[in-house]
C-alpha cells in the first residue's frame, strides 16, 4: 500500500522540478500548510480568448497520489469553467482508473491548459462567446485580488479559509502575495474600481471618445450573459451560465404547446363531425 509519506516525498520532488522548469504559461506551488493542496496560475496563451488572463485554481491530491488523481478546480471566472467546480477530466479524480501514475503535476496542468483552450465540453464546463471570454480575461487580475469586488479597505467581515464569494481576495493574497501586489499596481495604473472592476471615470473629464483609454476592454459585451463570478462553499457558481433557452423561455414554450393542442383538437373535432353527418 502506498503511504502518505511517500506521496509527500513525491510531491516535494515534483515541486522542485516544476519550479526549476515551469511549463509555458504555468506556475504552481503547494500550500505551506498542506502539501496535498496545490495552487496554480495559468496565463492565457496568445491567439486565444484567454490571452494574458490570470487563471487561478487548485489541485487537491489524495493521500495515495500518484496512484490516484487530484481534484481539479479553477476559481477565477473564465467563461470556460464554472468557478470552483470540480472538473471532469481524464486527469482528474472523476476518472481514477484512467490516471497514469507516471503523470506529474506539470503533466496535469499542461493537460488542463490544453483542454481549456479547446471547445470540448464536460462536467464543469460552460458555454460563452469569444467576446465574453476576452471580457472575462481582462477582469481576472481584479477578480483574484478583490474576491470579485468583495474587498474592503478596512478588511472587516472578510471570510477566510475556503474560496468563497466575499473573501476579499484573502485566499489569493495568502497564496500569491507577489502576484497580488502586481495586480493592485495594475489596477491603480489603469484606474480600476476595486469594487466593480470597471474603469473609474474622472468627473468633468469629458473624454468619451478615446477608445484606447485604460480599461475599455473590460466592459462586458453588449447583450451578453454575465460571466459567473460568485463562488460559494461547495464549489457551486452563482450566475447565468448554463441556463438553456428552454429554461429561460418556459412560459413562452408552454403557451405555444397549449395553443397547438387546442388548434389540433378543434381541427379533429370539425373533421369527425363532417363524417358523421
Residues 62 and 68: beta-carbon distance below 8 Å:
yes
Q: What grid cell was written down for 20?
A: 526549476
With b for 16 or more beta-carbon neighbours within 10 A and e for fewer, the 40-64 pattern comes to: bbbbbeeebbbeebbbbbbbbbbee
Residues 70 and 87: beta-carbon distance below 8 Å:
no
CA distance 53 to 45: 8
Residue 88 annotated as catalytic: yes
Cis peptide, bond prior to residue 233, ω within 30 of zero: no
Strand pairing class (230-231; 54-60): unpaired
Name the residue among 24, 141, 22 with its Cα closest to residue 78.
141
CA distance 196 to 184: 14
Catalytically annotated residue among 3, 6, 88, 212: 88
Collapsing DSSP to helix, strand or coil, 65 comes out as: coil
CA distance 138 to 90: 29
CA distance 66 to 11: 9
| Catalytic sites, residue numbers | 88
Amino acid at each position: 500500500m502506498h503511504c502518505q509519506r511517500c506521496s509527500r516525498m513525491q510531491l516535494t520532488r515534483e515541486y522542485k522540478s516544476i519550479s526549476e522548469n515551469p511549463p509555458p504559461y504555468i506556475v504552481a506551488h503547494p500550500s505551506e500548510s498542506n502539501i496535498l493542496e496545490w495552487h496554480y496560475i495559468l496565463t492565457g496563451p496568445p491567439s486565444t480568448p484567454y490571452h494574458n488572463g490570470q487563471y487561478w485554481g487548485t489541485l487537491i491530491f489524495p493521500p495515495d497520489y500518484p496512484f490516484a488523481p487530484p481534484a481539479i478546480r479553477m476559481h477565477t471566472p473564465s467563461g470556460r469553467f464554472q468557478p470552483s467546480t470540480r472538473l471532469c477530466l481524464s486527469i482528474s479524480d472523476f476518472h481514477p482508473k484512467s490516471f497514469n501514475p507516471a503523470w506529474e503535476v506539470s503533466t496535469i496542468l499542461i493537460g488542463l491548459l490544453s483542454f481549456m483552450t479547446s471547445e470540448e465540453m464536460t462536467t464543469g464546463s460552460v458555454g460563452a462567446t469569444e467576446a465574453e471570454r476576452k471580457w472575462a480575461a481582462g477582469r481576472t487580475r481584479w477578480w483574484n485580488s478583490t474576491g470579485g469586488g468583495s474587498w474592503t479597505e478596512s478588511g472587516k467581515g472578510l471570510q477566510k479559509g475556503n474560496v468563497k464569494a466575499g473573501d476579499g481576495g484573502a485566499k489569493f493574497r495568502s497564496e500569491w502575495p507577489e502576484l497580488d501586489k502586481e495586480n493592485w499596481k495594475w489596477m491603480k495604473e489603469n484606474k480600476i474600481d476595486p469594487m466593480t472592476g470597471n474603469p473609474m471615470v474622472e468627473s468633468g473629464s469629458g473624454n468619451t471618445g478615446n477608445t484606447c483609454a485604460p480599461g475599455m476592454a473590460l466592459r462586458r459585451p453588449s447583450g451578453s450573459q454575465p460571466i459567473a463570478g460568485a463562488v460559494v462553499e461547495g464549489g457551486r457558481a452563482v450566475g447565468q451560465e448554463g441556463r438553456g433557452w428552454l429554461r429561460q423561455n418556459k412560459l413562452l414554450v408552454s403557451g405555444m404547446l397549449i395553443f397547438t393542442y387546442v388548434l389540433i383538437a378543434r381541427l379533429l373535432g370539425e373533421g369527425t363531425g363532417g363524417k358523421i353527418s
